């Protein structure tokens, strides 16, 4: 469920009206959840597909057509170096 869908659902409305959290508390929750959420994203097949497509498109835009082996190797190196903030 997307964040937008979550916050527009009735269960979220219940939480919003009955559980007001301070910005500090929300920030601390984000700190605690960050690593687990990033791991979930990295393990997602959807993430791998999107990153492969985006890196390939960007690489082709910068280099144009090039040797397939070089393109693949560069793409893999770039994907390994890209990290979620």
In the chain, what are the domain boundaries? Answer: 1-35, 44-85
d(CA 58, CA 4): 28
Q: Is pLDDT of 37 > 80? A: yes
pLDDT band at 47 (very low <50, low <70, confident <90, very high): very high
So what's the pLDDT on residue 1? 65
Global pTM?
A: 0.63
**Residue 14 pLDDT more than 60?**
no
Listed in sequence order, the residues at least 6 apart from 66 whose beta carbon sits closer than 8 Å to its beta carbon are none
Q: Which residues contact 60 (CB under 8 A, 6 or more apart)?
A: 71
The answer to which of 11-15, 19-23, 50-54 has the lowest mean pLDDT is 11-15
């Amino acid at each position: 469920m997307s964040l937008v869908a979550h916050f527009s659902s009735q269960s979220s409305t219940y939480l919003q009206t009955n559980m007001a959290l301070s910005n500090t508390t929300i920030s601390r929750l984000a700190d605690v959840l960050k690593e687990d959420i990033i791991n979930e994203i990295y393990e997602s097949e959807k993430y791998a597909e999107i990153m492969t497509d985006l890196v390939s498109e960007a690489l082709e835009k910068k280099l144009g057509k090039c040797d397939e082996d070089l393109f693949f190797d560069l793409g893999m190196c770039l994907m390994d170096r890209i990290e979620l903030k």
